[in-house]
Structure 1
Amino acid sequence: MHWYLTVLKKYAVLDGRARRMEYWMFTLLDTLFAILVCILGTAVGSMMSGPGEISFLGFWLLLIYMFLVLMPKLSVTVRRLHDTGRSALWLFAGLIPAIGALITIILMVLDGDAGENEYGPDPKTVPLT
């Protein structure tokens, strides 16, 4: 939970670097929360609607949640790219049809630059706050 809250607190920080652990723990918890929001919204919506009616409450709550965490997702991805010595322009690689998502995943899995790079000090050597 620490990693998730840390990313939410740094939602507007586009400079600096983010460790793999920070990125992937945020991604894991974000995915779990999205699934939970969808399930709870669907359950509550089905209780509120009549028999035979379809409720889209889960969908709308999921859409709202995804909108609320969009900026933190982008900022942690930019900081993760900075950790590997790449600029934020590499985000556009994800827009390439068929292989864009694969390129993005590979970039997120790569180990960060050891020591300081042009984007800041190595986050592995900076103590956690």
Structure 2
Amino acid sequence: MEWFLKVVKNYAGFEGRARRKEYWMFILFYLIFDVILAVIENVLGLNNILTGLYGLALLLPSLAVTARRLHDTGRSGWMQLIGLIPLVGWIIMLVFLCQDSQGDNRFGENPKY
């Protein structure tokens, strides 16, 4: 939970680097809260109102943490645009996001140490 809150507090911080743990813990809690909101919507008979607002509220932090994760692997944050390519782009992004941290690079020191 602390990793999720760390990303939300660094709301629009596109600079620097994010470790795999920071990125994947953010994604995990993002999905958990999204499922909880979807269940609440289903019980109350709402039509994607809560999940839509939640997704919109966390759009910028999601883009920022993904950019920082790509920086950690030595890539530009603009590489996120590859994810717009159906299927192939998603697979490439998954590979990029799962790779280990690069040593010190142009985006800063290795956050692992």
Q: TM-score range by the shorter chain?
A: over 0.9
Conserved? CA contact 1:40–1:58, under 8 Å = no
Q: How many residues align?
A: 113
In the alignment, the residues of structure 1 paired with residue 87 and residue 8 of structure 2 have an alpha-carbon distance, to the nearest angstrom, of 30
Give the drift of 1:99. 0.5
Conserved? CA contact 2:101–2:112, under 8 Å = no
1:2-13 map, 5 Å: 2-13=2-13
Give the drift of 1:66. 0.5
Show structure 2 runs of 5+ residues with no match.
Answer: none
Residue in 1 that maps onto 2:62: 73
Conserved? CA contact 1:37–1:58, under 8 Å = no
CA RMSD, 1 decimal: 0.9
SS in 2 for 1:80: helix
Residue in 1 that maps onto 2:41: 41
Q: Return the TM-score normalized by structure 2.
A: 0.96
Residue in 2 that maps onto 1:86: 75
Residue in 1 that maps onto 2:20: 20
In the alignment, the residues of structure 1 paired with residue 100 and residue 41 of structure 2 have an alpha-carbon distance, to the nearest angstrom, of 38
Percent of aligned pairs sharing the same letter: 42
Tell me the amino acid that sits aligned with residue 5 of structure 1: L
SS in 2 for 1:118: coil
Show structure 1 runs of 5+ residues with no match.
Answer: 46-56
